[in-house]
Structure 1
Amino acid sequence: MRVRSALLVSLVVALLLTAGPTPVAALDDGTGDDRRQDIRVELLENGDASWTVEHHIVLRNESDRERFDAFAEDIKSGDRDVKLDRSWFEGFVPHAEAGTGRQMAIEDAGWEEPTVRSASEVGAYEAGEVGPDTQIGTLRYSVTWTNFAETDGDYLRLQETFMTASGDTWLSGLEPHQRLIIEAPDEHDIVTAPQGIENNRIVWNGQTTLGPGDFEIVFASQTGVVGFVQDSWPLLLGLLSLVAVGGGALWYVRTTRDGEWDEDDRPDWWPSIAPVATRLRHLITDADPGDDTDDRDSIDEPSPEPTESAVADEDHDAVDPELLSDEERVMHLLTANGGRMKQAAIVDETGWSNAKVSQLLSQMDEDDDIEKLRIGRENLITLPDVDPTQVE
Structure 2
Amino acid sequence: MVPRAFPVLLVLLFVAFPAVSAATSTAAAGVGPAAQSAQSQELDPENTTFHVQLRPNGDARWTIIERFNLTDENDTRAFETTRDAFLAGNSDRALLTEFRAANDAAATATGRDMALRNVSRDYEIDGDRGRLVLSFNWTNFAAVNGSRLSLQDAFYTPDGTWLTTLRSDQSLIISPPQGYTLTNSPPDSYFDNGNLRIDGGPTTTFERGDLDIVYEGDSTTQPGPNTGDFPLWTGMSLLLIVGLAAVLLYLNGQDEFPSVGSVGTDSDDGGDAPAPEPPAADGATDDIDAELLSDEERVERLLTRNGGRMKQARIVKETGWSNAKVSQLLSSMDEDGRIDKLRIGRENLISFPDEDVTEIED
**TM-score when scaled to structure 2?**
0.63
**Which secondary structure does the structure 2 equivalent of 1:215 belong to?**
coil
Alpha-carbon distance between aligned partners in 2 of 1:142 and 1:78, rounded to the nearest angstrom: 14
Alpha-carbon spacing, 1:142–1:387, altered in 2? closer, same or farther (3 Å): closer
Q: Which moved more, 1:37-46 or 1:156-165?
A: 37-46
**Which secondary structure does the structure 1 equivalent of 2:113 belong to?**
coil
Residue 200 of structure 2: aligned partner: 205
Which amino acid in the other structure matches residue 326 of structure 1?
A: D
Counterparts of residues 181-192 of structure 1 (less than 5 Å): 181-192=173-184
Residue 99 of structure 2: aligned partner: 89
Residue 49 of structure 2: aligned partner: 38
Residue 48 of structure 1: aligned partner: 59
Root-mean-square deviation (CA), in Å? 3.9
Report Cα offsets for 1:256-276 as digits up to 9, x if no partner: xxxxxxxxxxxxxxxxxxxxx
Report Cα offsets for 1:19-57 as digits up to 9, x if no partner: 672122xxxxxxxxx832222222223322122222233
Which amino acid in the other structure matches residue 162 of structure 2?
A: W
Alpha-carbon distance between aligned partners in 2 of 1:384 and 1:77, rounded to the nearest angstrom: 24
Residue 149 of structure 2: aligned partner: 156
**Which secondary structure does the structure 1 equivalent of 2:123 belong to?**
coil
1:145 deviation in Å?
Answer: 1.3
Alpha-carbon spacing, 1:76–1:332, altered in 2? closer, same or farther (3 Å): farther
Residue 136 of structure 2: aligned partner: 143
Preserved contact between residue 102 and residue 162 of structure 2 (Cα < 8 Å): yes
Alpha-carbon distance between aligned partners in 1 of 2:152 and 2:297, rounded to the nearest angstrom: 33
**Which secondary structure does the structure 1 equivalent of 2:161 belong to?**
coil
Q: Does 1:314 align with 2:276?
A: yes
Alpha-carbon spacing, 1:49–1:66, altered in 2? closer, same or farther (3 Å): same
Which amino acid in the other structure matches residue 170 of structure 2?
A: Q
Alpha-carbon distance between aligned partners in 1 of 2:207 and 2:175, rounded to the nearest angstrom: 19
Preserved contact between residue 372 and residue 379 of structure 1 (Cα < 8 Å): no
Alpha-carbon spacing, 1:84–1:344, altered in 2? closer, same or farther (3 Å): farther
**Which secondary structure does the structure 2 equivalent of 1:52 belong to?**
strand
**Which secondary structure does the structure 1 equivalent of 2:276 belong to?**
helix
Alpha-carbon spacing, 1:12–1:318, altered in 2? closer, same or farther (3 Å): same
**Which secondary structure does the structure 2 equivalent of 1:202 belong to?**
strand
Residue 297 of structure 1: aligned partner: none
Counterparts of residues 3-42 of structure 1 (less than 5 Å): 3=7, 5-11=10-16, 13-16=18-21, 17=37, 21-24=41-44, 35-42=46-53
Which amino acid in the other structure matches residue 101 of structure 2?
A: G
**Which secondary structure does the structure 2 equivalent of 1:211 belong to?**
coil
- Work out the percentage of aligned pairs sharing the same amino acid: 32
1:310 deviation in Å?
Answer: 4.6
1:219 deviation in Å?
Answer: 0.7
Which amino acid in the other structure matches residue 22 of structure 1?
A: E
Alpha-carbon distance between aligned partners in 1 of 2:177 and 2:89, rounded to the nearest angstrom: 35
Alpha-carbon distance between aligned partners in 2 of 1:327 and 1:178, rounded to the nearest angstrom: 29
Preserved contact between residue 186 and residue 211 of structure 2 (Cα < 8 Å): yes
Alpha-carbon spacing, 1:45–1:307, altered in 2? closer, same or farther (3 Å): farther
Report Cα offsets for 1:166-215 as digits up to 9, x if no partner: 4x111112234333233333332210112143233131413321111212
Alpha-carbon spacing, 1:101–1:317, altered in 2? closer, same or farther (3 Å): closer
**Which secondary structure does the structure 1 equivalent of 2:108 belong to?**
helix
Alpha-carbon distance between aligned partners in 1 of 2:118 and 2:219, rounded to the nearest angstrom: 28
Alpha-carbon spacing, 1:349–1:20, altered in 2? closer, same or farther (3 Å): farther
Alpha-carbon distance between aligned partners in 1 of 2:199 and 2:67, rounded to the nearest angstrom: 17
Residue 166 of structure 2: aligned partner: 174
Alpha-carbon distance between aligned partners in 2 of 1:389 and 1:137, rounded to the nearest angstrom: 31
Residue 330 of structure 2: aligned partner: 357
Preserved contact between residue 49 and residue 146 of structure 1 (Cα < 8 Å): yes
1:12 deviation in Å?
Answer: 5.2
Which amino acid in the other structure matches residue 214 of structure 2?
A: V
Alpha-carbon spacing, 1:382–1:56, altered in 2? closer, same or farther (3 Å): closer
**Which secondary structure does the structure 2 equivalent of 1:356 belong to?**
helix
Rg larger for: 1
Alpha-carbon distance between aligned partners in 2 of 1:348 and 1:102, rounded to the nearest angstrom: 40
Alpha-carbon distance between aligned partners in 2 of 1:36 and 1:362, rounded to the nearest angstrom: 28
Alpha-carbon distance between aligned partners in 1 of 2:142 and 2:326, rounded to the nearest angstrom: 19
Alpha-carbon distance between aligned partners in 2 of 1:320 and 1:74, rounded to the nearest angstrom: 42
1:335 deviation in Å?
Answer: 1.3
Alpha-carbon distance between aligned partners in 2 of 1:359 and 1:174, rounded to the nearest angstrom: 26
1:382 deviation in Å?
Answer: 4.5
Alpha-carbon spacing, 1:355–1:156, altered in 2? closer, same or farther (3 Å): same
Residue 339 of structure 1: aligned partner: 308
Which amino acid in the other structure matches residue 360 of structure 1?
A: M
Task: Mark the runs of 5 or more structure 2 residues left unpaired by the alignment.
Answer: 22-36, 222-246, 260-273, 278-284
Q: Does 1:110 align with 2:120?
A: yes
Report Cα offsets for 1:118-161 as digits up to 9, x if no partner: xxxxxxxxxxxxxxxxx654322222212211122221001111
Residue 237 of structure 2: aligned partner: none
Larger helix proportion of the pair: 1
Alpha-carbon distance between aligned partners in 2 of 1:331 and 1:304, rounded to the nearest angstrom: 30
Residue 66 of structure 1: aligned partner: 76
Alpha-carbon distance between aligned partners in 1 of 2:216 and 2:135, rounded to the nearest angstrom: 25
